[in-house]
Amino acid sequence: MPRRYDPDRRQRIIDAAIRVVGEKGLAGLSHRSAAAEADVPLGSTTYHFSTLDELMVAALRQANEGFAKVVAAHAALADPESDLAAELARILGEWLSGDRTGVELEYELYLAAVRRPALRPVAAEWAEDLTDRLSTRTDPATARALVALLDGICLQVLLTGTPYDEGFARDALARLIS
- The confidence band for 110, taking pLDDT boundaries of 50, 70 and 90, is confident
The residue that leads in pLDDT, 152 or 98, is 152
Tally of CB atoms within 10 A around 174? 15
Q: Is the pLDDT confidence value at 142 over 70?
A: yes
The percentage of residues in the chain with a pLDDT greater than 90, rounded to a whole number, is: 52
Tell me, what's the pLDDT at 29?
A: 93
Q: What is the mean pLDDT of the chain?
A: 88
Write the CA distances from 101 to 1, 7, 30, integer angstroms.
40, 27, 19
* 34-55: pLDDT as tens digits: 999 999 999 999 999 999 999 9
Tell me, what's the pLDDT at 113?
A: 85
Task: Please name the fold of domain 75-177.
Answer: Tetracycline Repressor; domain 2 (1.10.357)
Domain segments of the chain as ranges: 75-177
Instruction: Tell which phi-psi region holds residue 163, choosing left (phi > 0), alpha (psi between -120 and 50) or beta.
Output: beta
Residue 49, burial from CB neighbour count under 10 angstroms (0-12, 13-18, 19+): buried
- The confidence band for 3, taking pLDDT boundaries of 50, 70 and 90, is low
pTM for this predicted structure: 0.80
Tell me, what's the pLDDT at 2?
A: 47
